[in-house]
A and B are shown apart, each in its own frame.
Chain A
Amino acid sequence: MADVLTVDRLTVSLPPGSDRPYAVEDVSYSVAPGEIVCVVGESGSGKSVSAFTVMGLLPREVKAVGGSIRLEGEELLGAPETRYRELRGSRMAMIFQEPMTALNPVKTIGEQIEETLKVHTQMNQSERRARVLETIGQVNLPDPDQIVRAYPHQLSGGQRQRAMIAGALALDPALLIADEPTTALDVTTQAQILKLIAELRERKGTGVLFITHDFGVVAEIAHRVVVMQKGKVVEQGLANDVLTRPQHPYTQMLIGAVPSLEPAQRASLDGAPIVLHTKNLRKVYSSGGLFQKKRVVEAAKDVSIDIRRGETVGIVGESGSGKSTVARCVARLIDPTSGEIAIDGADYAKLPERKLRDHRRRMQIVFQDPYRSLNPRRTVADSMIEASVNFGASAEQAMKRAGELLDLVHLPRQSLDRYPHQFSGGQRQRICIARALMPQPEVLIADEAVSALDVSVQAQVLRLFDEIREKFSLALLFITHDLRVAAQICDRIVVMQKGAVVEQGVTREIFANPQHAYTKALFAAAPGKHIGNKVVT
C-alpha cells in the first residue's frame, strides 16, 4: 500500500541568530497506513519541527526551504493555505503534549470535537451530535453524554488526552501526528493512552507519527523508529532492530543511558545507624471559610520512613501521591500538621523557624528545575557559600570548600565567578548538588532532581548522586516518579499513593515481587520493560 506520509529531504531554516542555521536538515522518513513511526531525540533535536512542518503550523520565522512532504501522494510544501486548512483535521490531525492547555478552557469538550465536523462536513446538527458521541465512545471515555457537556478542567489529564484523540480522529484522518502525547501524564495513564492509540490505528488503519523522547514508549508501540540528533536523522529502521542493535554511536549512547528497570545489586546497610526518621508524618491542607464548603486535603498521612547512614531511600508515586509533600516537610519548607521528623534523634517537626536554624544545616535539598534553583543575579560562588557563611564559616573557608566541591562534581573552578545563565541544565544541577553539600549535611533530599534532564545527562547526574552519597555517607531521600531511576539508585523504595505509603522495602525485593495492588499496577504500566537491561554494550 502507498505510504500515508512521505517526508523527503526536508530542510527547515531557523531565523538568523539561532544556534544553528537549520532546525531540521535533509530529513527523510515515511509512514505507511496503520503504521506507528516514532521520531525520537533529545530536546533540541528538531523532532517536533518536522511534525509541525507537515501540519503547516510552523511559527512565521521558521520556514521549510527544501525537500518535499507528500500526504497520500499530494505534495504539501508550497500548497496554498486554503488547501492546508482543508486537510488539517480531515486528512491529517494532531494531538499535543499538554492536554490541559491544548483544549480551549471556555468551550465544552463536545463543542470542540464538533468544531472539526462543522468546518469540514455538511452534517446537520443531529448528525454531528451523533458522531461526537460515537467518537467519544471509541476512545473509551465513560458516560459520553456527560463528557460532551463537560469543560476541560472538569476532566482528569488522561480523560483530556482521550478527548483530544477523539477530536483528532473524528473524521478518520489518514495520518495522526502525536507530539509527546503522554509525557505530561502519569505512568499508569500513559499506558492506557498508548494502548488506545495502538488499538485505534489498528481498527482504523491510521498512520501514526509519534514524537517522543522516551525509549520505553518507543519499545512499547513503535513499528519503525527514526532517531534524530541536532536536526539530522542519524538512524532509522524497524523498532526491534534499532532498539536491540543500534548502529549509530548516538543511538547506542541514548539507549545505553536509559536506566534499567532491573534494580542493581547493592550492599546491605542494615547495620548502619538511622539518620533520618519520620513517624506518622501528616500534612493536611484545608481551604474555604465563611459561606464556603470547607475542603480538606490530606497530602500526606501517617508517613513513617527511616534512612540509614549511606543509604538511598526512594519515594515513588504518581502526581498527587504526596511524595513531594513529604520531601518538603522533611526540609521544613512547609510545616507538617503532625508527626515526628528527626535527624540523629533530634525531632524538629514542630520547631519554630528561629530554633530550626541549627537543624537546617543537616538537611539540604536539590530541586527539580535547574533553571529556577539558582538566583540568576548571583554568581555561582555567592550561591554556594551562602549556607556555609550563614552557619558560621568565614568567606575564605567557604570559598575553599566551594572550589573543592566543584572539583567533585566535575566542574572547573572558574565556574565560581560565572552566572547561572552561562551553564547548561545538567551543569546547573551539578552546581546545585555542590551547593547542597556545602554545609556538610547529613541528609540530602533530591526532589525529582533528574526529571527535567535529558536522558544522557540524567545518567551522569544519577551517577554523581551515588558518588557523593558514598563519599560523604549521606542519607539520601530521593523523590522520583520514574521507576527506572528508582531502580538504579535506591537501596530501598517507598511507594506512595494519594498521600499514604502503600508499600516499602528493599528495592530488589519490591521490583521482583510487589505485594500491593497499586505497586503491581505501577510496574505493569512501565513502558518498554526490556529497554536498558544491559544487553547493549
Chain B
Amino acid sequence: MFGYVLRRLVSTIPVMLIVAVFVFLMLRVGPHDPAAIIAGDNANADQIAQIRQQLGLDKPLLTQLFVWLSAILHGDFGESFFFKKKVVSLIADRIEPTLALAICTSILAVVIAVPLGVVAAMRRGSMVDRLVMGFSVLGFSVPVFVIGYVLIYIFAIKFPILPVQGYSRIADGFEPFIRSIILPSLTLAVVYVALIARMTRTSVLEVLGEDYIRTAYARGLTPLQVLVRHALPNAAVPIVTVIGLGVALLIGGVVVTESVFAIPGIGRLTVDAVLARDFPTIQAIILLFSFIYVMINLIIDVSYTLLDPRIRY
C-alpha cells in the first residue's frame, strides 16, 4: 500500500514539472515584458533596464527557470506586480472563502447527484429518467453566471430571503456564513450535479448488465439487494473518478461564481490579476489550482484500491 502511494506520488512530479515549465514559459516567452509592467507607463528605458536586472530577467532562460523553480520550492512565489505584496500572503488571505465554496458545493453536488443518477438508472426510460437526463443536459448548457443571476433574482430580489452578494467569514458566525454560501454553492453545484448524475446513471446501467448481477438474481436477491450489494460497489470507481475530474470544472466555476457573488476569494483574485496583467499572481494561482487538482485525483486513484480489490498496490 505504502509503495503504491509513493509510486503514485512520484508519478505526479513530471506532471507538476510540466505545468511549472508551461507557466514559466507563458510569461517569459509571451509578448509582455514584466519589467515594463512593473515600471509603469511613465518609466524610461533606463528604469526598465534596472528593473530587468533586479528581477534577473537579463540572465539566460534556463537559469531563470531554475532560479524560479527553486524559489517556488522554497515557498517563494514572488511579489505581486499589482498588489505590491508577497503572492503567498495574498493567496493566504483569500483562500478561506474559496475553500468554503468548493467544499460546500462538492458535498451538495454529491448528495444530490448520486441518488438522482441511481434512480434514473433503475427506472431507465421512465419519466424520472428523462427528467434527470434533461436536467443534466440543461445544466451543461447554461453558463454559471446566468444561473447565479437567476438564483439571485429569485431568492434575493423577488423573495429576499438570502443575501444578494458578499461573503461572511465562518469566524463571524455560522449562520451568516451559511446564508452567504447557499446561493453560490447552489449555482456552482448545477453543472457538477449534471456531470455526476449522468456518470452515475451510465455506470450503474453498465454494471446492471454484467453477468454477476444475473448471478445475484439467481441467488434469490431482490432488486434492491442487488443494487445495494452488487451494483453500487462496482459502479463506485467510475463515479468517484468523475467526481475527481469534475474538480477542474469546479475550479473554473469558482472564478466565475466569486465574481457574480462578489466573494473575495482566489477566483476574484484571478480575474483581478488577469485584468492587471499581474503575472506572478497568475502563475502562483495556476500552480496552486493545478496542484490541488492533481492531488485530489491522486487521492482518488489511491482510493480505488479500497473500492476495487483488483487494483493492486
Q: Which chain A residues have a beta carbon within 8 Å of chain B's beta carbons?
A: 55, 57, 85-90, 93-94, 96, 98, 101-107, 115-116, 119-120, 151, 153, 164, 167, 290-292
Contacts and interface: CB of A to CB of B under 8 A. Distances in A.
Contact of A105 (B3, B225, B308): B308
Given A151-B309, A291-B6, A85 B218 contact: no
Given A115-B216, A153-B309, 8 more contacts: A85-B220, A87-B220, A96-B211, A101-B211, A106-B233, A120-B220, A167-B219, A291-B10
7 closest cross-chain pairs (CB), A and B: A89-B220, A101-B211, A88-B220, A89-B219, A104-B212, A151-B309, A291-B7
B210 A101 contact: yes
Contacts of A90: 220
Contacts of A96: 211, 214-215
B130 interface: no
B74 interface: no
Interface residues of B, number: 25
Interface in B229-243: 229-230, 233-234
Given A104-B230, A291-B3, A291-B10, A115 B219 contact: yes
Nearest to B308: A106
From B216, B225, B233, residue with most partner A Cβ within 10 Å: B216
B307 interface: yes
B222 interface: yes
Contacts of B66: none
B107 interface: no
B217, B219, B229, B307 interface centre (most CB from chain A within 10 Å) = B219
A106 B219 contact: no
A151 B233 CA distance: 14
Interface in B1-53: 3, 6-7, 10
Nearest to B210: A101
B220 A86 contact: yes
B310 interface: yes
B247 to A, nearest CB: 25
A272 B9 CA distance: 62
A115 B217 CA distance: 11
B98 to A, nearest CB: 34
For A103, A107, A292, which residue has the most chain B Cβ atoms within 10 angstroms?
Answer: A107
A90 B221 CA distance: 11
Given A102-B214, A290-B10, A116 B234 contact: no
B288 to A, nearest CB: 27
A116 B220 CA distance: 7
Contact of B233 (A57, A107, A116, A290): A107
- Could you say which of A98, A151, A291 has the most chain B C-beta atoms within 10 Å of its C-beta? A291
A105 B234 contact: yes
Nearest to B233: A106
Nearest to B213: A104
Contacts of A107: 229-230, 233
Nearest to B219: A89
B212 A88 contact: no
A93 B218 contact: yes
A536 B297 CA distance: 65
Contacts of A55: 218
A153 B310 contact: yes
B228 to A, nearest CB: 12
B220 A98 contact: no
Nearest to B222: A85
B10 to A, nearest CB: 7
A153 B310 CA distance: 7
Contact of B218 (A88, A151, A153): A88
A86 B221 CA distance: 9
Contacts of A106: 233-234, 307-310
A88 B308 contact: no
A129 to B, nearest CB: 17
B61 to A, nearest CB: 29
A291 B310 CA distance: 19
B304 to A, nearest CB: 11
Contacts of A167: 219
Contacts of A115: 216, 219, 221, 229
Nearest to B309: A151
Contact of A102 (B211, B220, B233, B307): B211
A151 B212 CA distance: 13
6 contacts: A85-B220, A90-B220, A106-B234, A106-B309, A119-B220, A291-B10
A421 to B, nearest CB: 23
A395 to B, nearest CB: 45
Interface in B61-105: none
Contacts of B307: 106
* Most B-side CB within 10 Å, residue of A85, A101, A106, A153: A106
A103 B3 contact: no
Nearest to B231: A104
A44 to B, nearest CB: 20
B303 to A, nearest CB: 13
Contacts of B7: 290-292
A105 B219 CA distance: 16
B220 A105 contact: no
B28 to A, nearest CB: 31
Contact of B221 (A102, A105, A119): A119
A464 B83 CA distance: 83
Nearest to B10: A291
A366 B6 CA distance: 45
Contacts of B221: 85, 115, 119
Contacts of B225: 119
Nearest to B225: A119
Interface centre among A96, A102, A151, A164 (most CB of B within 10 A): A102
Nearest to A86: B220
Contacts of B217: 57, 88
Given A85-B221, A86-B220, A292-B7, A102 B308 contact: no
Nearest to A52: B214
Contacts of A290: 7, 10
B212 A103 contact: yes
Contacts of B308: 105-106
Contacts of B214: 57, 96, 102
A382 to B, nearest CB: 34
A104 B221 CA distance: 14
Interface string B189-228: 0000000000000000000001110111111111001000
Given A106-B233, A106-B309, A151-B310, A119 B215 contact: no
A119 B218 CA distance: 12
A102 B216 CA distance: 9
B219 A116 contact: yes
Contacts of B222: 85
B205 to A, nearest CB: 14
Nearest to A293: B3
A103 B215 CA distance: 7
Nearest to B211: A101
A123 to B, nearest CB: 15
Which has the most chain A C-beta neighbours within 10 Å: B3, B217, B230? B217
A14 B63 CA distance: 74
Contacts of A104: 212, 215-216, 230, 233-234
A105 B212 contact: yes
Contacts of A103: 212, 215
